[in-house]
């Protein structure tokens, strides 16, 4: 309200003092002052005044000054509200900055912790990768050895099959040889038996002949020893031929 009264007072003072100085501002000679300060038939002319700082300003009417004073009060109220909001926003911004700093510190701590965990996991992953590579190498080696063993077993089976065939053929040949040998043995035994029988028969015949010769000699008179010796030689030759 004080501001409004002050504005009205200033406006009235400007309106009363501007008429005296208009002639000096508008006209070069004093004769034109009444013409410059008068109003036209359509209304008052535009009133200008020169301030102390040398700036020419337009003179405001009462209603314009009143309107501007009301507008200034609204602007002051809005400015106060804006300042209050600005202070609140500044306080909130300060709190937000404090929270942001705390969050940044917490984030830095979490980042450090996560980096440590990541480093530990990377080390563990490297160890697991190394163990996996070793196991893979062992598996590949075992697979290679298994393939070599399978190949050797297949080769051994082939060799065993070939040897088995050879053994079967040799066994069959040996069986044939054994059968032939058994047959030859049987024939030899039969021949031996026949020879034994022939020898036994020859012995019996020789014994019988000898007995007959002895009996004949006993019946005959004594003969010449030389002749008897010849007869004995002939008898021995006959027995040798029979044997």
Average pLDDT on 129-139 reads 91
- Average model confidence (pLDDT) across the chain: 77
Q: Give counts: helices (H), strands (E), the chain.
A: 4, 2
- The neighbouring-strand residues paired with 58 are 48
More confident residue, 67 or 18: 67
DSSP 220: S
Contact 24, 81 (CB under 8 A): no
Quick one: pLDDT band at residue 9, thresholds 50, 70, 90? low
Give the pLDDT score at 139.
92
Cβ neighbours for 27, distance < 8 A, ≥ 6 positions apart: 33, 35, 36
- The CA radius of gyration of the chain, in Å to the nearest whole number, is 80
Residue 87 CA from chain centroid, whole number: 58
Give the pLDDT score at 97.
92
Tell me the per-residue pLDDT of 141-183, one tens digit each, with 9 for 90 and over.
999 999 998 998 898 888 888 888 888 888 888 888 888 888 8
- In Å, how far are 12, 125, 141, 148, 215 from 135, measured between CA atoms? 105, 15, 10, 19, 110
Average pLDDT on 100-120 reads 92
Give the pLDDT score at 221.
56
With vertex at residue 47, the alpha carbon angle to CA 44 and CA 53, rounded to the nearest 5 degrees, is 175
Assess whether pLDDT exceeds 70 at residue 86. yes
Tell me the per-residue pLDDT of 182-237, one tens digit each, with 9 for 90 and over.
888 888 888 888 888 888 888 888 887 777 777 777 766 555 555 556 666 666 66
Assess whether pLDDT exceeds 90 at residue 117. yes
Q: What SS3 state is found at 45? A: coil
Of the ranges 41-45, 55-59, 212-216, the best mean pLDDT one: 55-59
Give the pLDDT score at 222.
55
Contact 243, 199 (CB under 8 A): yes
Give the pLDDT score at 42.
45
Rounded to two decimals, what is the model's pTM?
0.33
Distance CA 22, CA 113 (A): 82
Assess whether pLDDT exceeds 60 at residue 125. yes
In the structure encoding, which two tokens stand for residue 148, read together? 């070599």
């Amino acid at each position: 309200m004080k501001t409004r009264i002050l504005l009205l007072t200033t406006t009235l003072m400007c309106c009363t003092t501007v008429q005296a100085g208009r002639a000096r501002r508008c006209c070069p000679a004093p004769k034109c002052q009444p013409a410059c300060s008068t109003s036209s038939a359509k209304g008052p002319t535009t009133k200008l005044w020169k301030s102390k700082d040398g700036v020419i300003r337009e003179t405001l009417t009462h209603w314009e000054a009143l309107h501007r004073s009301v507008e200034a009060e609204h602007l002051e109220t809005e400015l106060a509200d804006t300042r209050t909001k600005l202070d609140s926003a500044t306080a909130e911004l300060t709190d937000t900055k404090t929270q942001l700093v705390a969050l940044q510190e917490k984030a830095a701590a979490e980042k450090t912790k996560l980096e440590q965990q990541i480093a530990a996991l990377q080390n563990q992953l490297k160890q697991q990768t190394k163990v996996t590579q070793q196991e893979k190498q062992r598996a590949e080696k075992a697979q290679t050895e298994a393939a070599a063993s399978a190949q050797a077993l297949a080769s051994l089976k082939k060799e065993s099959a070939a040897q088995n065939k050879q053994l079967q053929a040799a066994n069959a040949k040996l069986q044939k040889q054994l059968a032939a040998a058994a047959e030859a043995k049987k024939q030899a035994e039969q021949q031996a038996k026949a020879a034994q029988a022939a020898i036994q028969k020859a012995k019996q015949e020789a014994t019988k002949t000898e007995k007959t010769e002895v009996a004949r000699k006993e019946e005959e008179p004594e003969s010449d020893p030389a002749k008897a010796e010849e007869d004995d030689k002939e008898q021995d030759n006959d027995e040798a031929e029979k044997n």
